[in-house]
Amino acid sequence: MGVELSIVVPTYNERENIGILIERIDMVLRGAGVNYEVVIVDDNSPDGTADYAEELARTEGYPVKIVRRPGKLGLASAVIDGIKAVRGVFIAVMDADLQHPPEVLPQMLKALKGGCDIAIASRYVEGGSIEGWSLLRKVISKGAILIVRILLPKVRNIKDPISGYFMFRKDVIEGVLDKLKPRGYKTLLEILVRGRAREVCEVPYTFRPRYKGRSKLSAKEVIDYLLHILDLAPSYVKFAIVGALGTVVNLGTLTVLTLEGIPHAIASATAIEVSILNNFILNDIWTFRGGRKDKWWHRLLKFHGSSASAIIVQWTVSNALYYLLHIPSIIAQLVGIVAGFVLNYMLSKKFVWRTQ
């Protein structure tokens, strides 16, 4: 009989926890009649986590596979390496620190067999909860989810899109596994956005403090999380962010030049050009980096054209609404800005960088 469920467990200095985790997984899944394997991906733990897990497999007969890596290469890449080593039809990802209770695995597996493509162990659906967190930690978590929902449309209906405990059908990542490039701790986000899931379910669970050891969350992980979200954001969100930064550059340049005594007409024109150059560079290396088919100066000239077209449309729409339809000035200007943004984005995507 083939392996039904593969459980990927990244580890680094988890010797104190790994034995208890494997024992609990075995008790839960054997009792449920599930043929499973545990794939432990260890980053050369100094405390001998991998050796201990290997010993447990040999002496206790647990179905454990060890993937040894040469050093501390990060949790996200550990999950990907683990996924590449699995044999199961269904794949679960969980931490080794016992914050993710193995007792939830059968419920998640049931959800997948019932038609879901991804089952998320959720802290924020009805029945889910968190123990041992301060108010500040809860606020940070909610804030992180809010940012994700704003920037990633695909996850807006998911209560806990940043959970580290989830299960999915293997075919969800078929054809895209090599394109998955998660950063930090949030591999689920990568799979939700780049994978082929149609139906996502959430299973409630209680997130508890670590059994033993220390949390590995650091400032670097927070920065990686934010960069990961920005990288996953759709191109129109990135384009809007770049446009907002361009506005800051425009006004900043104008302020500096006018303080230096430069006439407004010259300062304004210079500020506009500097902001266009700023926007071109950021869109070229970030928003549309896959669409650099022409020479850079060709793209730059075309971006000037699309930007000029957007300014003309913004001005035309704003004045038409104000003078012809008698719409208040601020609303007319806002509609004009939106119209100019849409045109500039479409021209940039299809004409300047030709991503379609």
pLDDT digits (tens, 9 = 90+) for 94-116: 999 999 999 999 999 999 999 99
Please give the average per-residue pLDDT across 117-131, as a whole number. Answer: 95
Q: Say yes or no to pLDDT of 123 above 90.
A: yes
Q: Express each pLDDT in 74-99 by its tens digit.
A: 888 899 999 999 999 999 999 999 99
In DSSP terms, 120 is beta-bridged to 166, 202
Does the pTM surpass 0.85? The reply is: no
Structure confidence at residue 132 (pLDDT) = 85
Tokens 């300047």 — which residue?
Answer: 352
CA angle (144 as vertex; 140, 148 as ends), nearest 5: 170
Q: Is the pLDDT of residue 217 over 60?
A: no
CA-to-CA distance for 215 and 140, rounded, in angstroms? 16
Percentage of residues of the chain with pLDDT beyond 90: 73
Is the model's pLDDT at 211 over the cut of 70?
no
Q: Indicate if the pLDDT at residue 337 is higher than 80.
A: yes
The DSSP annotation for 204-251 comes to: E-EE---SSS-----HHHHHHHHHHHHHHS-HHHHHHHHHHHHHHHHH
pLDDT at 35 over 80: yes
With beta carbons less than 8 A apart as the criterion, state whether 185 and 97 touch: no
Mean pLDDT for 177-189 is: 78
What are the tens digits of pLDDT across the range 230-266? 888 999 999 999 999 999 999 999 999 989 999 888 9
Predicted local distance difference test score (pLDDT) of residue 1: 67
* DSSP-derived secondary structure letter, 167: E
Residue 348 pLDDT exceeds 90 = yes
Quote the pLDDT of residue 230. Answer: 87
- What integer pLDDT is reported at residue 304 of this predicted model? 95
**Which pLDDT score is estimated for 21?**
96
What integer pLDDT is reported at residue 356 of this predicted model?
A: 58
Cα dist from 146 to 134, 155, 202, 269, whole Å: 19, 10, 17, 38
- Which DSSP letter does residue 119 get? E
Query: What is the model's pLDDT at position 209?
Result: 77
SS3 category, 115: coil
Residue 119: what pLDDT?
98
**Mean pLDDT computed over 188-194:** 92
Let me know: does 349 contact 288? Beta carbons within 8 Å. Answer: yes
CA distance 320 to 326: 9
pLDDT digits (tens, 9 = 90+) for 278-309: 999 999 999 998 888 889 999 999 999 999 99
- Helix, strand, coil shares, percent, the chain, to 5: 60, 10, 30
Averaged pLDDT of the chain: 91
pLDDT digits 0-9 by tens, 312-326: 999 999 999 999 999
Residue 293: its pLDDT value, please?
83
DSSP letter for each residue of 63-110: -EEEEE-SS---HHHHHHHHHHH---SEEEE--SSSSS-GGGHHHHHH
Continuous H helices in 260-295: 264-282
- Per the DSSP assignment, residues forming a β-bridge with 38 are 7, 64
Confidence of residue 342 (pLDDT cuts 50, 70, 90): very high
Whether 5 contacts 35, CB under 8 Å = yes
Beta-carbon neighbour count of residue 192 at 10 Å?
Answer: 24
The residues that bridge with 68 in the sheet, in sequence order, are 42
Per-residue pLDDT at 166 exceeds 90: yes
In whole angstroms, what is the distance from residue 90 CA to residue 117 CA? 10
Note the pLDDT of residue 134: 87
